Amino acid sequence: MKRILSGIQPSGQLHIGNYFGMMKTMISNMETSDLYVFIVDLHALTSVHDRERLSTGTLEAAADFLALGLDPDKCTFWVQSDVPEVCELTWVLSTLTPMGLLERCHSYKDKVAKGIAANHGLFAYPVLMAADILLYQSEIVPVGKDQKQHLEVARDIAVKFNNRFGETFVVPEPFIGETSAIVPGLDGQKMSKSYGNTIPIFLDDKHLRKRVMAIQTDSTPVEEPKDPDNCNLYALLKLFASKEKMDEVHDLYTGGGAAYGYLKQDLYELIRDYFAGARTKKKELLANQDYLREVLAGGADKAREKAMQTLELVRDRVGLKY
C-alpha cells in the first residue's frame, strides 16, 4: 500500500477549495492506502497569533475531517505539534536548503505582496512542510495546484540529503486532482482563507446563500452568449452539478439565456444538500470535544512512532549521534 500524506492549516473555516483540492482525495483513499492526515498548527502559527483562534480552529478542523467521512481507525490522523520531532528535522533540513530556493517560492512572495507581514516562519514554511513529508517517508502528497512548488522544494531537499548522506528519504510525488486543480473564489482568484473570498463548507443556510449570491460575474445580458471557461460561477457549478445539469448549463452559456441569479440559486441548493449530512455530524462532534481529543491523541501516538524511526536514522546519518 502506498503511503499518502497531506495536511491542512487550522487557520480559518475550511472551504470548498480545501475540500475539492485535498480533503476529498484523502478521504477517498482511506481504504486503499496507508493514509496520513494531519492538522498543521505549526504552519498556521506563521499567520495566526491568537490563542483562541488557533486552538479552536484545530479542534474544528478535526471535526471537519471526521464529519466529512475520515475514519481515524483507517488512517493516522493527528495534530502536527503533537509530534515535536518534526521541528528537529526542520532544523537539519534548513541547513541544506539554499536561500534562493525559498526566495523563489510564489506562496511567500504572494503573501508579502498582499501586505501580510513577512516573518522568518513564513519564509521557512516550505522547510517545515518538507520535514512533514519526509519524516513519514511519504510517497504521494495530494495537494491543490498552489502547493506544487512546495512539493518541489521537498523533493529537492530530499534528493540533496540523500546525495550528501546516503539514501535516507523517500522522494515524494505530488498528486493534483484534475477537476480541483484550482477552485476559484467569489472574486475569481484562487479561493483562499487568506484572500477572504471563500465559500466555507459548514456555513448555515442563510450565510451560505449570501456568499453564493456574492460570486462575481460579468455584466453580459441574460440573452447573450457567455464564455463558460472564463466564469467562476460555471467552474463552481461544475464541482457540484450532475453531468446532465452541466450539459444544460453549458448550452445556456454558449447559446444565450444563462441568468446568473438563477444559476447562483441552483449552486446554493447544490452545496447545501451536498454537505447536509456532514453538517449535522460536525455539530455532534463539536459537542463531544473529549472524543475529538482522544482521537487526536491516539493518532499522535501512531505518527510519533514512525517519526522517531526516521529521526533516529537522520541523526545517525548526519553525525548527531556520537
Q: Which residues are catalytic?
A: 111, 190, 193
Which cell numbers in the block locate residue 118? 513577512
Are the beta carbons of 21 and 141 closer than 8 angstroms? Answer: no
14 is a site residue for ligand TRP (CB under 6 A): no
Pick 236 or 295: Cβ nearer ligand ADP: 236
Under 8 Å CB-to-CB from 69, ≥6 apart: which residues? Answer: 27, 278
Query: 78: part of which helix (H) or strand (E)?
Result: strand 76-79
Pick 103 or 273: Cβ nearer ligand TRP: 103
CB of 308 to ligand TRP, least distance (A): 19
Choosing from 4, 7, 157, 311, the residue that interacts with ligand TRP (CB under 6 A) is 7
Pick 164 or 207: Cβ nearer ligand ADP: 207
180 binds, among ligand TRP, ligand ADP, none (CB under 5 to 8 A by kind): ligand ADP
Question: If 0-12 CB within 10 Å is exposed, 13-18 middle and 19+ buried, where does residue 30 land?
Answer: middle
CA 9 distance to own-chain centroid: 7
Pick 151 or 241: Cβ nearer ligand TRP: 151
Under 8 Å CB-to-CB from 55, ≥6 apart: which residues? Answer: none
157 binds, among ligand TRP, ligand ADP, none (CB under 5 to 8 A by kind): none
Residue 36 per-residue DSSP state: E
Choosing from 4, 23, 40, 93, the residue that interacts with ligand TRP (CB under 6 A) is 40
Choosing from 23, 93, 143, 208, the residue that interacts with ligand TRP (CB under 6 A) is 143
Nearest Cα residue to 90 out of 146, 152, 153: 153
CB of 223 to ligand TRP, least distance (A): 41
CB of 33 to ligand TRP, least distance (A): 14
29 is a site residue for ligand TRP (CB under 6 A): no
> In the window 121-140, what residues touch ligand TRP (CB under 6 A)?
129, 132-133
Residue 19 per-residue DSSP state: I
CB of 9 to ligand TRP, least distance (A): 5
Q: By Cβ distance, which residue is nearest to ligand TRP?
A: 7
Interface positions with ligand ADP (CB under 6 A): 8-9, 17-18, 21-22, 143-144, 146-147, 180, 182-183, 190-194
State the sign of the Cα–Cα–Cα–Cα dihedral 105, 106, 109, 114.
negative
Question: If 0-12 CB within 10 Å is exposed, 13-18 middle and 19+ buried, where does residue 322 land?
Answer: exposed
Are the beta carbons of 279 and 208 closer than 8 angstroms? Answer: no
- Dist. CA 124–CA 102, nearest whole Å: 7
Are the beta carbons of 201 and 275 closer than 8 angstroms? Answer: yes
3 is a site residue for ligand TRP (CB under 6 A): no
CB of 126 to ligand TRP, least distance (A): 8
Binding site for ligand TRP (CB under 6 A): 5-7, 9, 40, 43, 129, 132-133, 141, 143, 147, 150
